[in-house]
């Protein structure tokens, strides 16, 4: 399964999350510690999203390939400073294309989104769910992947005014109901709130000192890391972390 992380807090260099920690996202791409049978390494792509101006739209950089090979990203990450970051490394699900546009984060305006996992029995299991979207949306998915469909579902509901945590939890419940056995670990931010789910994969939270990090694996040995139990949605900002159970389908 892919690895992802989200950060909210004082502005920091992107490299302090993606490259520098002992268990950085770069390290998790070649030596993840907790893949739970979903592949072994995360070498099919990567992406980083951040906010050049607080309150403004997100900027996103994503590529297919191995994150450790990208010297341009190292240089960019050292000089790019942001108070909100969402980053991911990808292990492509068998049968899904290895292209830039299949890599998280997916973005629209202020939103950044990532999916760690897979939709079981793709694509047949979610045909009826996909039919709830306009044909034009289905024709312009970032890539023909399960993650892109999940993003289209989330994005359309956010655009309709849905609250982030409710949208994320509803999409997980609805997809899990029609595609049992799916792994639906979602991560979403707009730069001020961070929402993550655990649906058969790991998620850890570290909060304190006016900052919060959600990550598939702890980035370091800080004793403040707490594991989120499976089947939950976490809503976090710089001052509070709320964990709620998601109804199972
Ligand atoms: N199924 C998604 C993809 O192929 C996510 C993969 C993963 O989490 N390993 O992009």
31 pLDDT band, cuts 50/70/90, is confident
Atom number of ligand 1 nearest to Cα 1: 9
In this prediction, residues 31-45 reach a mean pLDDT of: 72
Which residue blocks in the chain are alpha helix, DSSP H? 15-18, 25-30, 71-79, 127-130, 135-139, 146-159, 164-178
Atom number of ligand 1 nearest to Cα 45: 10
85 located within any domain: yes
Structural domain boundaries, residue 66: 3-116+186-245
26 located within any domain: yes
Tell me: the pLDDT tens digits for 221-232? 999 999 999 999
Compute the mean pLDDT over every residue in the chain, rounded to the nearest whole number. Answer: 94
Residue 41: predicted pLDDT: 77
- pTM, full prediction: 0.96
User: Total structural domains in the chain?
Assistant: 1
Of 45, 96, 114, 196, the one to substitute when testing ligand 1's pocket (max ligand atoms within 8 A of C-beta) is 96
Say if ligand 1 is within 6 A of residue 38 CB.
yes
The CATH code of the domain that includes 112 is: 3.60.20.10
Say if ligand 1 is within 6 A of residue 145 CB.
yes
**Percent of the chain surpassing pLDDT 70:** 96
33 pLDDT band, cuts 50/70/90, is confident
Tell me: the pLDDT tens digits for 174-220? 999 999 999 999 999 999 999 999 999 899 999 999 999 999 999 99
Residue 35: predicted pLDDT: 55
In this prediction, residues 137-149 reach a mean pLDDT of: 98
57 located within any domain: yes
142 located within any domain: no
User: How many A from CA of 148 to the centre of ligand 1?
Assistant: 10
For residue 103, indicate whether it is catalytic: no
H and E: helices and strands count for the chain: 7, 13
Look at residue 31 and give its three-state secondary structure.
coil
249 pLDDT band, cuts 50/70/90, is very low
21 located within any domain: yes
In this prediction, residues 113-126 reach a mean pLDDT of: 97
173 located within any domain: no
Q: What are phi and psi of 128, to 5 degrees?
A: -70, -35
C-alpha dihedral (206, 199, 249, 151), degrees to nearest 10: 90
Tokens of 36: 């739970």
User: How many A from CA of 41 to the centre of ligand 1?
Assistant: 12
User: How many A from CA of 39 to the centre of ligand 1?
Assistant: 10
Tell me: the pLDDT tens digits for 43-76? 899 999 999 998 999 999 999 999 999 999 999 9
pLDDT of 113 higher than 90: yes
140 located within any domain: no
d(CA 47, CA 26): 11
Residue 1: predicted pLDDT: 59
Atom number of ligand 1 nearest to Cα 122: 1
161 located within any domain: no
pLDDT of 37 higher than 70: no
Q: What are phi and psi of 138, to 5 degrees?
A: -65, -30
d(CA 119, CA 98): 17
d(CA 79, CA 25): 18
Atom number of ligand 1 nearest to Cα 116: 8
Say if ligand 1 is within 6 A of residue 35 CB.
no
């Amino acid at each position: 399964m892919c690895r992802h992380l989200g950060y909210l807090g004082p502005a920091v260099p992107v490299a302090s999350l993606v490259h520098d920690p002992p268990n950085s996202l770069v390290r998790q791409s070649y030596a993840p510690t907790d893949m739970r049978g979903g592949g072994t390494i995360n070498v099919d792509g990567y992406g980083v999203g951040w906010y050049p101006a607080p309150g403004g739209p997100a900027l996103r950089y994503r590529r297919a390939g191995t994150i450790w090979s990208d010297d341009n990203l190292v240089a960019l990450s050292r000089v790019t400073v942001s108070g909100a970051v969402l980053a991911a490394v990808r292990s492509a699900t068998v049968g899904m294309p290895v292209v830039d546009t299949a890599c998280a984060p997916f973005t629209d305006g202020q939103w950044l989104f990532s999916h760690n996992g897979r939709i079981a029995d793709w694509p047949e299991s979610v045909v009826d769910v996909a039919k709830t979207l306009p044909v034009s949306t289905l024709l312009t998915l970032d890539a023909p992947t399960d993650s892109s469909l999940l993003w289209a579902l989330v994005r359309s509901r956010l655009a309709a005014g849905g609250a982030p945590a409710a949208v994320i939890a509803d999409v997980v419940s609805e997809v899990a109901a029609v595609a049992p056995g799916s792994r639906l670990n979602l991560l979403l931010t707009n730069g001020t709130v961070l929402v993550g789910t655990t649906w058969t994969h790991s998620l850890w939270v570290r909060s304190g000192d006016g900052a919060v990090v959600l990550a598939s694996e702890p980035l370091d040995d800080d004793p403040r890391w707490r594991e989120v139990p499976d089947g939950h949605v976490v809503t976090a900002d710089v001052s509070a972390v709320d964990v709620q159970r998601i109804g199972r389908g």
